[in-house]
Structure 1
């Protein structure tokens, strides 16, 4: 029996079904290629990491990783779908030509089974692609955090100083992109931290010191280690889509929270911050000034002080050598004032030589295949020289020193060391801790993240704080974790808490309303 030509409704349905099948194939390929590509090049990331990368995406000249991603995720699936569609159309045309333009003569049930099978296979591709993509970006954790009823405010501990009779000066040095993993000589040409390790061989360190989930840039490192909370935004003061840095020149910066500089200010400290870069970038100056820092010395000061042009990198700021030369003068001044007045000080600083692209100054001979490894070593030589200077001056007798990376090394497509770091499960942040006297022998709790560095810094400065707690963190100087602390949560619960938007908490914090635990 000859099949009847399809009615217009059936014809329309057939066209819609075919289009949906091709859309499903395209979507499945996009998700599958994106998921595999993310896992291959970057390992497991978060949805927020992906959103930040997409906000900052650029397609520079040359065949870079950005272009590879564009061709792989955007162009390749479209080309594959067009090829399949062309083959299908060509086959249909040949069949119709052979049958002199007749409609498909197969029984209707057979035609339906064929279309259903095609659509089913396309849906399987979509499900597979979605599963791979979801796993690569931690979509389940993101959804769980978005729907979570947990709030950081329920676990936040405002630091309460219970004793200050042993308070001391403290120097806090942030190393730009200071990742401990770079010391692995099985992965890299040499250990760039060797000069620092030699100078701090009798210091303590926190084994497996971790970047908090969702962090990974300088302001996130400063806020987490000085305030004990993840850096997040709300719709009110700025909108960052979650874990992103605020824009330059915002009016206030998390004034509702009590941070490191606030506590030191309350205890009579003088707070000074020094950096080679412009302090206005990402509103670092606002953060520091809103949280107890008396002086912020940055690029503008160095440019106005007669520094030679050869000591500046045009894209960023003053070299680490010159910054630390200024830091020697600064600690001389602060220590002399402290001995005269009895006022302790907190001197914090941030290096920048190791921020990519690698810039080698005339004091930095490049003797490695990777230019960046040599730059890291040269920067560490400057920091080690500063430690040696403090030692020679006798400052280490009454001054604690904490050296820490501000975050793991960036892994954007133009950055170095993807092969060694992308899928490395043992990445950690470099750190060294010096506390004068017997306290330097106290064991430091391994595996803490940047949120616990806040109370660690307070205790390194000789302050006693209730329950060793501040923000979401618990000091590395204790193994006793309070029962109601965020650090007492299991790994899954802690990840959920850190990832949750906590809109009520951050709205109060950014609005300047004092937050309480």
Structure 2
């Protein structure tokens, strides 16, 4: 009897084994897929962003990503996801063969070891060491008072503007470096990619000690990406944020405790505009310029609203620089007719990594596309400056050309060390004279007070933020300490920066409840697969605070967060409702089963906020 019971138990165990084995095989295949995906993703990440830092990664993950370029998606799918899927399929084949020849245990050991090597060593370990995650965690737990000790609050400085205030044109040149010139003029490249920009810097001011060799500015930690570079140049501070969980898009303000260039010029009665060929919400740029100077935002969506481009037009990040400079001339001609002085700020995009955007103006003079795009940008910027110089308002206008940060494309700079990488800088038609002819060692942080000085503004002490007026004899932080010392101190946690940030982020749900965002009701026509467009409507708007609505934008995407979607400015109808037909042919595929339709409402009082979202099933 006992033997019968044992036999019965053994049968039950044996019957259970196949299910456990199948589950084990499935987990092993998934482990192989995940390991290869992690390993290849890390390798792709560091080959694409060769100077990626933890600070930049943290900001990128917490800032809005709506409006980002789509060029890298295909490359990631091809180089990372597809090989990982193939690895999973090959694992299935390998296990099948091993089982047939009764070598399953050695096969499992081989797969596990391979996965640990690819995913663990090549993936997680390389990620940890390359990004210096250990140092980052150390810096976050070992505060520094360096920023507080060296910060000069602009709101407490008695700035003295000239009687006739000068206009300002500030052009941020995407990824533009002084390094792209050859050694004869101060750079490190074999050939001078940017001869036109070189000539501009030689004829104007780059704070060099030579008539032929041009100088440039360093990018310290917290300023090596676009929003960080812009923030540094206009506030004299690195962009260190403690915002978590992508709450940047839910902020009503952006470092509310900081006084910036935009705040100062707004108080002086300037008309201010910010023009870019992409969606201004990416990285929180719209929040920054709205909350610090009430800039008019002339972005990709604005161009659609003004019917300067078609509703479904999109290349690279939005529209190309050829159009940007054309639209800039249009806006400058309009601003110059007003009695008020103006601050027109713009950001180019064609030179964005990985390889830039090659337009019909670009030539094939250099080996790589990126080099040719840089050369093309140099010619376009030079032509724009010449146009400005031909205008009647130029005599009263200071122009600043500045790279936003060093490029993240590692190939163009060869083996140039980071300490020798400088962003392009030129001050044109400045109303200030240098007090020293030394070759200045400076950072983009110094652009803040230097820009005001170039506009003829007197700055007692010649310091604002962490920056120094480069026209003065005052030593910069890099001259007083060193690039490495300043960089290391800025990386550390700063309670002072946390206080300056004064985050007042509220979720859209909270603000809607308080009536601080107009509440909209969305509707969309049924969407059939393979249709090119989807019709969207705002049928009702509840606006209890009577906020001034400046724009209603609709986003249609396969992702709930709206990333990689198509944005349209909705047209107001005679009955007060809004309508828009969105072209979604380029963003949906046969695997998509729904479309997320999101409406953003921009008010003069609170800026742009997500107001409502619906899911439209694909039939």
Q: 2:177 aligns with which of 173, 176, 179?
A: 179
Corresponding residue of 1:435: 429
Corresponding residue of 1:355: 352
Corresponding residue of 1:222: 230
Distance 1:278 1:49, change over 3 A: closer
TM-score under structure 1 length normalisation: 0.68
Contact 1:45–1:138, Cα closer than 8 Å, also in 2:
no
Distance 1:359 1:131, change over 3 A: closer
Larger displacement relative to structure 2 (44-53 or 417-426):
44-53
Larger displacement relative to structure 2 (389-398 or 203-212):
389-398
**1:431, 1:141 → 2: CA distance?**
31
In angstroms, what is the RMSD of aligned CA positions?
Answer: 4.6
Corresponding residue of 1:379: 377
**2:437, 2:312 → 1: CA distance?**
40
Give a deviation string over 1:2-39, Cα, whole Å, max 9, x none: xxxxxxxxxxxxxxxxxxxxxxxxxxxxxxxx999999
Higher percent of residues as strand: 2
Paired residue secondary structure (1:433): strand
**1:272, 1:176 → 2: CA distance?**
18
**1:179, 1:477 → 2: CA distance?**
21
Higher percent of residues as helix: 1
1:165 and 2:162 are equivalent in the alignment:
yes
Corresponding residue of 1:197: 198
Larger displacement relative to structure 2 (351-360 or 289-298):
351-360
Q: 1:48 aligns with which of 50, 55, 60?
A: 55
Corresponding residue of 2:549: none
Corresponding residue of 1:24: none
Question: How far is the alpha carbon of 1:324 from its aligned partner?
Answer: 1.1
Q: Which runs of 5+ in 1 are unaligned?
A: 1-33, 76-84, 90-129, 241-245
Q: Which runs of 5+ in 2 are unaligned?
A: 1-40, 66-71, 92-104, 110-123, 208-214, 506-619
1:495 and 2:492 are equivalent in the alignment:
no
Corresponding residue of 1:97: none
Corresponding residue of 1:22: none
Corresponding residue of 1:304: 305
Matched positions, count:
423
Distance 1:442 1:279, change over 3 A: farther
Contact 2:44–2:76, Cα closer than 8 Å, also in 1:
no
TM-score under structure 2 length normalisation: 0.57
Question: How far is the alpha carbon of 1:143 from its aligned partner?
Answer: 5.3
Larger displacement relative to structure 2 (488-497 or 267-276):
488-497
**1:310, 1:65 → 2: CA distance?**
32
1:464 and 2:463 are equivalent in the alignment:
no
Give a deviation string over 1:131-180, Cα, whole Å, max 9, x none: 99988555675455334342333432111133212642111100011122
Paired residue secondary structure (1:162): coil
Paired residue secondary structure (1:400): strand
Question: How far is the alpha carbon of 1:403 from its aligned partner?
Answer: 0.1
Corresponding residue of 2:440: 446
Contact 2:432–2:455, Cα closer than 8 Å, also in 1:
no
**2:259, 2:61 → 1: CA distance?**
33
Corresponding residue of 1:210: 218
Corresponding residue of 1:479: 473
